[in-house]
Structures are given as C-alpha cells and as structure tokens.
Amino acid sequence: MLQNLRTSTWFLSGALLGLSLAVGHSVYALKDENQQIPFEDLQAFTEVFSKVKSDYVETVDDRKLIEDAIRGMLSGLDPHSAFLNTSEFSDLKIGTTGQFGGLGIEVGMENGFVKVISPIDDTPASRAGIQASDLIIKLDEKSVKGMTLNEAVKIMRGKPNTDIDLTIVREGEPKPLVIKITREIIRVKSVKNRMLEPGYGYVRITNFQSRTTTDLLKAISDLQKEESLKGMVLDLRNNPGGVLNGAVGVSDAFIDDGLIVYTEGRLDDSSHRYLATPGDSLNGAPLVVLINGGSASASEIVAGAIQDHKRGIIMGTKSFGKGSVQTIQELRNGSAVKLTTARYFTPNGRSIQATGIEPDIKQSTLRISEKDEKARETYSESDLEGRLSNPNGDGDSSSATDEETDSEALARSDFQLFEALNLLKGLTILGEISNG
C-alpha cells in the first residue's frame, strides 16, 4: 500500500535535509508526546557531515551524503527496511506488475551478502540451479560486500539476453560456485496444477499475487472436473511470499471459519485481524502442504493457519521465518521508504518471525539413484520357474518391464512430493475405514 509519510516523520527528514538546528533545548517533542528528537545526537550528525564535506579526500555531493545517511538509518533497523530513491521506487513498482527483466530470484541481506530466499519457478535462476539459502558474494567481478540490497538487485536486473556471473557460497560445497545466468523477461505465473494420480490433485503456488486466490479456486475446479478429488497436495516450497490478501484468500479456501492471521504494530492501523468465511473448496478432503526453507512470509501465513486449524498436514522442512510486515510509504520528492510496521501471528498467537513454521512431518529433500533402485529389487514366487498357476487366472503379471511407472518417476524426480502423495493415500484409506 502506498501512502504519504506521516507528518512527524517527514518533519525529522526536513530537519536533517535543512541541517538547521535550534539551540537552547536538548530535545524537541514530536506530535506524539512520547517521541522526542535528541538534539545532541543531531548536532553530532551535523558535525560528521561538516567533517566529511571539509576533510574527506574527495568532494562528495550533498545529496549523496544525505541519501546514504538515510539508507544507513533504515538498514540499521532490520534486513527488510530500506530507502528507495526515485529510480529504485520506479523499479519496485515495475517489479510488482509480475513482469520484469531479470534472473527470477527473491533475495535478502545476511552479514553483508545477498542471500537467496528462493528461486522462482521456470526462471533463469531456477533452471541454472540456484537454491534457497545460497549466499551471493560476487556479481560478475563486483563484490557485493558493502552494497545495499537495492544496488545488488539493480545489477542483477537488466536487458533480456544479457549474461551475469553469480559467485555463490553454498552449504556443503568446498569452494564458491560460479554460475552464469542469462537474463530474461520474468513472467511469474502464480498457480499451476495437475493430477498426480486419479483422485489426487496437485497445486503449486509460486508466489502470492492479487489474482492468486481466484487462480487457485479455478485450478481446484479444473481438477475436480477431471475426477472427484480424494485429496490434494498444496506446494508452497520456495514460495517467497507476496500480497497479504492472496495469503488470506488461499487460507480461506480451505478453512471454514475462525481467525486466519493477525498483525500487531505500534500504530492502530498496523494491527489487523483476518477471518475466514464459510466454505471449503475441497469439501473436507485431506490436504498436505509442502514447505521448505524457501517458503517465506505469505507462504508461512497459509501454512500456519492450516496447521493451527488442523485442516491439513504440513510436511517438509522448517520455513524461512519472515514474520514481519513492510509498508511502502511514498515521500514528497517521489522517493519512498520500505518500513517494517508490524508482525504476523498465526491463529494460535505464534509469531513467525525468525522461527518459521515447523512441519508436522519433517521430510528432507532426497534423490533415489538408479543404484539405489537396483539394490531394492526383490524376487517373488511369480519369478520362479515351474511355479503353480493361480486358479483365479495368472495373466503373466510377473513379466518384467523396463518402463518406469509414474510412481517411480515421481519418487526419482521429487521424493518429498512422492511421500506427500503416499500420505494423502493413507489419510484417504483411514477416512474410508473410519466411515465404515
């Protein structure tokens, strides 16, 4: 949401920009009686500003000094608050349209380096093998140490069909990896769906946009037209988040009533409660939600709501843990600040911040190799020569085939999803037994 910066805060910025300080009082009260500006500290700021202007080895533009001071003030708060000059603010608005030139990764800052929160599906970064939690230490030949996040993002974005080398540090790798990626126009499709097996649907949400809830309901409807759903896997792995209303709508699609999420901040308009409306798009069919370390923000809201309402089973690895709300506030000169204004809480009052969502069933990412498959091969009575025939009809079901089954292919390509499907089948069978 874009809005003008509050009067009191703008006054502080005006005081800094004008560098005109009154004397005779140690503090100056803002409109809020509990907030005061310490003039001794502001005087220290002006002294430093003056020293830089007069003594620094090179001449520095006044505007750059002020902008860098503002950046430092915001970046010192938390990894997500930031100052956006007019150019950066324009780029941000372009990025939120769902189409831009770049690599296709959601990033943050950690210890001065750019950390990958998650790659976006079907983008150059995803195809190149960039993984959640990778630390980017160089962009081409430039070290990211000392860069702001906005500066790093600006370098990674660029004209389509141009290359960039990312040097990354990855846990488990003995030395940094250099990965060449070709920029493309990034078109983010929020919702994808397919049938895993008859009666068992799969829906993946890559990020949360304004249309995500509508697209989700259509995806479920399309699956149900193929065959009545016995259960569904909702895949939120490597989903970096997005629009809050999208997360609320997706949660509401599976939860009949009660609280979905609430936010708490210092200001009244930063605190909100979001409630579910009647109706379950799956009509109570079992639901398994997949998450991992790349599932952040809005993804964690959905997983937390479903977990607290016991509407489904959360499976995978612990999520990222971004439980804060950022508000983009436009300033009078066309620049903006991205400011953390609230925290998210799950229906049961759990803060997501820095803790993430713990899955109900922990399932690491594994791959089954052909060697493992061969080691698991077994023989049965039907493989023996001269075996007795089955009076109900043999059908020569023992004849081996070299063709890989759909189930085996899924286990080989995505073991977590394979296990989620098996869990859904077990829940369905258990439900049928319970119902007699």
Task: Please state, in angstroms and rounded to a whole number, the distance separating the CA atoms of residues 43 and 23.
Answer: 10
Beta strand pairing call for 313-316 and 200-205: unpaired
Q: What is the DSSP string of 317-332?
A: S------EEEEEEE-T
Instruction: Judge whether 338 counts as a catalytic residue.
Output: no
Number of neighbours of residue 25 by Cβ within 10 angstroms: 10
Say which DSSP state 208 is in.
B
Question: Buried b / exposed e across 344-357, counting CB within 10 Å, b at 16+?
Answer: bbbbeebebbeebb
Token reading at 30: 């803002």
Distances in Å between the Cα of 35 and the Cα atoms of 7, 31, 76, 268 are 13, 8, 19, 16
Distances in Å between the Cα of 228 and the Cα atoms of 195, 224, 356, 423, 427 are 11, 5, 34, 18, 16
Instruction: Judge whether 138 counts as a catalytic residue.
Output: no
Given 235, 322, 338, 414, the catalytic residue: 322
Given 308, 319, 324, 414, the catalytic residue: 308
Say which DSSP state 351 is in.
B
Given 281, 297, 299, 319, the catalytic residue: 297
Instruction: Judge whether 308 counts as a catalytic residue.
Output: yes
C-alpha count within 13 angstroms, C-beta hemisphere, residue 288: 26
Q: How big is the chain, counted in residues?
A: 436
Q: Which residues are catalytic?
A: 297, 308, 322
